[in-house]
Amino acid sequence: MFDFDDSRLDDPDVLAAASPLLMTLASCGARVRREAALAEAPLNGLDDADRPRAVIAYGPEARLLRAVLEPVCPVPFVAWPALGLPGWVGPLDVVLLIGSRGPQSLAVAAEAVRRGCRVLVACPPDSPLAQRAASRATTLLPVSTDDPLAAAVVCLVALHRLGLAPYTAPEVIAGAMDAVAERCAPRTDVSVNPAKAMALDLADAAPLVWGGSVLAARASRRIVEALRLASGRIGLSADATDLVSLLQQVRPRDPFADPFEQAGDERRPGLVLVDDGLDDESAAESRLRLERTAEAVEIRVTRLEHTTDSVMERYVTLLLSGLFGAAYLQIGLGRTAS
């Protein structure tokens, strides 16, 4: 078992050893800028002259695009999870492929070309996917960083040019990512570093993560995946009703218990609430119930909040803040490579 040592969060040697982990997160904004610059020429060639019947998205972050666009897209937007395409897809539709190396993407690309669909594909220009998707109706959006989130931002720009999405400014989104990286920088003291504070909150906890809106819920799932990987512990992102039930089963704290003898299967949960300011009435009630239930059983609550700016700025801010928190948890537990 790894024991959390908060001194690691400010130890220059430990942080230097963990710099690859932190630099990957800190360079998210740079990757968005790079992908947007690479795709500038094909993006400028897109227009909204012919509105498609529907958009079918496939690949990493397809569900993110659906979450952003479903309320505003003027045509049906489908995040397709299965191999192949729906039977009704044809020349009147746009198939959007966010590149991956798996054979599934190659099969979807070949099928979309065979059916005569208009294809948008975000992938490296020399990749097998680019070759398989090539056709007169295909627009290649070249990407190079292997970052699905950065590729998704480029796809949002492309869909805006087709008249299917609101305006997306990659530079603004990258700036929001840079702001998180600055706040969560390793040199920043824990008193003003929200990611280090989150790591301290979850130092000995099994994380439960919840977000009320569609995008906050998606960020919650990504954050809890990172927390599980960082800590090697069980973590869960679920509906508020399920999390309330779990919290209600937590036994009251024993003031005489020795915390150093706490068994792993008796680890108390820690609740992380992700708030993008887009809760509806039901989500607001669920958030309040979670807070009250956690307070009743003396569970610590960590709040990740960003309730202004565009939906994508809110999403990347909350997601990256949570990912930095997971990174510092991993550092505090001594689970980074030496």
Core vs surface per residue 322-332: b (16+ CB within 10 A) or e: bbbbbbbbbbb
Nearest to 177 by CA among 75, 26, 324, 4: 26
The encoded tokens of residue 135 equal 């056709």
Residue-averaged pLDDT of the chain: 94
Q: What is the pLDDT of residue 41?
A: 97
**Measured at the alpha carbon of residue 80, what is the angle toward residues 96 and 42, in degrees to the nearest 5?**
5
Alpha carbons within 13 A on the beta-carbon side of 192? 7
Q: Over the stretch 83-93, which tens digit does the pLDDT of each residue have? A: 789 999 999 99
Model confidence band, residue 102 (pLDDT cutoffs 50, 70, 90): confident
Nearest to 164 by CA among 51, 333, 273: 51
Backbone torsions φ then ψ of 145, nearest 5 degrees: -100, -5
Model confidence band, residue 256 (pLDDT cutoffs 50, 70, 90): low
Region label for 277, one of left (φ > 0), alpha (ψ between -120 and 50) or beta (otherwise) = left
Q: What is the pLDDT of residue 145?
A: 86
Q: What is the DSSP string of 315-335?
A: HHHHHHHHHHHHHHHHHHTT-
Nearest to 54 by CA among 86, 92, 87, 109: 92
Q: What is the pLDDT of residue 81?
A: 86
Lowest-pLDDT range, 46-50, 178-182, 290-294? Answer: 46-50
Nearest to 264 by CA among 333, 337, 195: 333
Model confidence band, residue 255 (pLDDT cutoffs 50, 70, 90): low
174: exposed, middle or buried (Cβ count in 10 Å: 0-12, 13-18, 19+): buried
Measured between alpha carbons, how far is residue 203 from residues 224, 237, 262, 330 in Å? 14, 18, 13, 9
94-115 average pLDDT score:
91
Query: What domains appear along the chain, each with residue ranges and CATH number?
Result: 6-18+186-252+264-332 (3.40.50.10490), 30-172 (3.40.50.10490)
Predicted TM-score of the model (pTM): 0.94
Nearest to 287 by CA among 244, 235, 236: 244
The encoded tokens of residue 199 equal 């790591």
